[in-house]
Amino acid sequence: MQSGATPEWFALTDRATRETMERIARSVERVELPLQTKHLPMQAHWFILDSLTLANQANREGMHANALSLTRQCLEAVSIVELGLARQAGAADMLAKWEGDRASPGEVRKWLSENVWPSYGAGLWTETWAVYMGHLARAIQPYAHYSSPLAQWQIHLIGQSKVGKEGTELIARYAPRAYDPQKATRITLFHAILTYTLGRIWVATSTADDPEFSELIRRFGQALGTSKYLDGHETDWDQQFWAMLWSTAGTTMLE
């Protein structure tokens, strides 16, 4: 993060992550599912934890493309955790289909969108949960494979400067592990959004009365929703996860 005032979402991330993962861990260990599929939500949660651990390490060391690729792998795992925690009829059957390779990740999300998500309420702003999850998926879908869009995350965008009346020029650095403070912050933001998503899933599916945690997740979501990197709910915020982003003032760091 840049020096100066710390955005509220960043200040809340450590606590929200710790408390969310603790609750998810306890819940996936206790799911009431057939023996064949009982372990799957727990394994999916382990996968998320390990992927985010590795992604955070890579992000700190300037391997932003690698961090983003690891982050992309978490999305389908979130769906499997969600199937394990869902109380709607058919969730266990869908999990068994996924385990038997008879349901694709897209089919799992479609089932969740039709049977589970309508009960969740709004996403980060006033959009439906299905719209929110659609943006979340589209934001990192381009990074499922090594591609030109992913390679751009290996570049340190230093800034831009005016060149007379002809326009501006970008200043970029190419190097192994080229640490870019903006890219590091934005990947951290995306990890926080994944944590918020899991927190909301837990709140929506748990029978426990936990108003303090519910309030934490509400505040966390509200803080995330004010980040300038997301640019509000009136635009396609998934596009804000393009590799190269700067303000009209020429700065690369927002909040």
92-106 pLDDT, tens digit each: 999 999 999 999 999
| CA 184 to each of CA 31, 39, 104: distance values in angstroms, whole numbers, following the listed order | 35, 33, 31
Q: Tokens in use for 102?
A: 């008879």
Residue 2: pLDDT band (50, 70, 90) is very low
23-37 pLDDT, tens digit each: 999 999 999 999 999
- 73 versus 237: the higher-pLDDT residue is 73
Q: Tokens in use for 114?
A: 């039709």
pLDDT the model gives residue 157: 84
Whether residue 246 contacts residue 240, with contact meaning beta carbons closer than 8 Å, is answered with: no
Can you tell me the distance from the alpha carbon of 46 to that of 235, in angstroms, rounded to the nearest whole number? 34
* Percentage of the chain modeled with pLDDT above 70: 89
164-220 pLDDT, tens digit each: 566 667 788 888 999 999 999 999 999 999 999 999 999 999 999 999 999 999 999
Predicted structure pTM score? 0.91
